[in-house]
Structure 1
């Protein structure tokens, strides 16, 4: 049965703000382009088609830096819910949470995670502080403030370490040079990140072990997935780099192979699932998220990332986990829309219609 509610798919116009996305020196043209955003735009038609199987009215709105124009178009569309795929504005990921905040202020229900959750999860050190306060294992770390030198004698973390941008996602800035085995190589990469990305850097003890992804839909854990690095050259650290996600011609892309369901003993599987849900609720997630883990040599899981509103394109890890649970791509999208509609059940009238009714009463 086709539903009558109006669905507006909102996504951000692709934009690049860095001269380098790879996290290493390169002369490749792709280093200056945010491939993650371009990849998503190619999925919009698939998403609209899938939602159109269940909803009569599905529109699409791309949001750029002209926010007043976007609001005007939003008002014209007058949606019951917004399918929120906005991950940045004008290439700046910090604005992801701001847009969700605008939806909230306009009292338009939207899919996925709330503004506060999006902002907290983007901030890697804040995420780790919250996880630690809940007793959830995460690797030891320190936050290196922009252009502030670290004194070697005061450095307390155990090598190797991994360096990550403090407020970025999609593996931007992550390369084989992100794993440092001594203070000098760490300092070299740290200065590279400071120079190219102009932000604080998270330095974290590197867990040399298996990488496990836990996808959560609603409050349900989907089958766990593992990123395997079996054929990756031995001189490269086994991590999910920017190239591994977005650069099809790269060694990393060709040799990071997902396996779902992950082959884990029952005890470890249950422990990861419980920790994933704990992290989901600690960060106040809703609707869907992906929690990433590294397993130490003794199979101790450590949360390394909480990803609200993860990639749900057809070939994404999240959709792969859903498929392993018998949930199709179309069903994933419908369930997310349904979560938002249920929150909106008490007021089927859209926010813009309500505003117009008030204005017309004078």
Structure 2
């Protein structure tokens, strides 16, 4: 089993002044505001000296001068989850939660993520990267129908389209290309939608219980993720033990393959033959009232506030300078 056992919480006074980075400039700004507010309030209730900092409204110069001893990244999408901010924090020498610049960048790029997973022998649906509409007529012949079109550098199902027939390709491509210069075409896997939260780093990384997501008509879009109450969640998912163990094992292997750290979430489809298929990795998952990592943590007896403190305790710079020759 890969599931975590709860560790004693650290002395929060040792964290010093903590910045909660939220908001930002991505298409997921509104979700990030919800996540940031939730994390901020949770840290305050645990006695942490926490302060909100909106990276969409304030500059890196402001961040450098804010006097934070460490930061909790509650940003989603570009300029927060994609390695750009992580690189800046490394230059500032400011410890931060989650994965480092390289892992964040890889995980934010769905195409590169799938290439890394394939290199490690991990199962992910067939795909093609499209950069021109001229390919639209032939892609269904190779990937089959239905298929999924998505912007490879966005999250939260932003711009994702399910294509049922050839005639839907142009509209689906247009929807996805609003958010990206490229469009990822992916084989559609019919089955159960699952997700696994992972905490820790390297050999210490462990999975939380599998969550099953049941959305109306199987449509787990932005509306059903963050707004509607119609989506159902089952944690732990009702799965045979061997299947559950296989999924959590693959989740941890997928997380480690990208060199993720701190925390993250790995999304799956489980087909009719109980074969799991990796969809994507999230290195800064949502922390809203509808979010899944807090749900999985609750299943092992960890409250939302305890989860936030646990994640914050792992804040660190990931790039280390080589020793200087004397």
- With the shorter chain as reference, the TM-score category is 0.7 to 0.9
Structure 2 match to 1:320 = 295
Q: What CA distance in whole angstroms lies between the structure 2 residues aligned with 1:158 and 1:47?
A: 42
Aligned partners of 2:17 and 2:68 also within 8 Å: yes
2:240 aligned residue: 265
1:11 to 13, 18, 21: 21
Q: Which residue of 2 aligns with 1:183?
A: 166
Is residue 200 from structure 1 mapped to residue 179 from structure 2 by the alignment? no
Post-superposition shift, 1:76? 3.2
1:106 alignment counterpart: 92
- Larger radius of gyration between Structure 1 and Structure 2: 1
Alpha-carbon distance change, 299 to 61 in structure 1, aligned in 2, over 3 angstroms: same
Taking structure 1 as reference, are residues 243 and 55 closer, same or farther at Cα in structure 2, changes over 3 Å only? same
TM-score by length of 1: 0.77
Hey, what does 1:62 align to over in structure 2? 54
| TM-score, length-scaled by structure 2 | 0.84
Could you list the runs of 5+ residues in structure 2 that have no partner in the other structure?
A: 1-10, 321-326
How is 1:16-31 mapped onto 2 (pairs within 5 angstroms)?
none
Contact residue 8 and residue 61 of structure 1 kept, 8 A: no
Specify the SS of the correspondent of 1:138.
coil
Distance 2:43 2:131 in 1: 43
Q: What are the within-5 Å matches in structure 2 for residues 246-265 of structure 1? A: 246-248=226-228, 254=230, 256-265=231-240
Instruction: Name the CA shift for 1:62/1:135 in 2 (closer, same or farther; >3 Å).
Output: same
Of stretches 157-166 and 310-319 in structure 1, the one that deviates more from structure 2 is: 310-319
Change (3 A) 1:311 1:120: same
- Does the 8 A contact of 1:152 with 1:183 survive in 2? no
**C-alpha separation in 1, matches of 2:134 and 2:47:** 52
SS at match of 2:236: coil
Q: 1:334 aligns with which of 302, 309, 314?
A: 309
The count of aligned residue pairs is 305
Rate the CA distance shift 1:107–1:315 in 2: closer, same or farther, 3 A.
Answer: same
Per the alignment, in what secondary structure is the counterpart of residue 297 of structure 2?
A: helix
For residue 294 of structure 1, report the CA deviation from its aligned partner: 0.5
Choose which of 78, 87, 107 in structure 1 pairs with 2:67.
78
Partner in structure 2 of residue 217 of structure 1: 199
Q: CA offset at residue 296 of structure 1?
A: 1.1
CA–CA distance in 1 between the matches of 2:81 and 2:213?
A: 29
1:85-107 per-position Cα deviation (integer Å, ceiling 9, x unaligned):
2335xxx5587421111001111
Partner Cα distance (1:45, 1:86) in 2 = 11
- RMSD, aligned CA: 2.6
Greater RCO between the two (CA within 8 Å, min separation 6)?
2
Other-structure match for 1:242: 222
Q: 1:272 to 1:153 in 2, by over 3 A?
A: closer
Note if 1:287 corresponds to 2:297.
no
Give the CA deviation at 1:329: 0.8
**CA distance change for structure 1 residues 95 and 241 in 2, over 3 Å: closer, same or farther?**
closer
What are the superposed Cα offsets for residues 1-53 of structure 1, whole Å, 9 maximum, x if unpaired? 5514324324343557xxxxxxxxxxxxxxxxx5x432442454442232234
Instruction: Classify the secondary structure of the residue corresponding to 1:258.
Output: strand
Task: Decide whether aligned partners of structure 1 residues 45 and 310 sit closer, same or farther in structure 2, where only a CA change above 3 A counts.
Answer: closer
CA contact (8 A) 1:84 1:112 kept: yes
1:355 paired residue number: none
In structure 2, C-alpha distance between the alignment counterparts of 1:154 and 1:317, rounded to whole Å: 32
**Corresponding residue for 2:8?**
none
> What is the correspondence of 1:114-133 to structure 2 with a 5 Å cutoff?
114-133=100-119
* Contact 1:7–1:83 (8 Å) recurs in 2: no
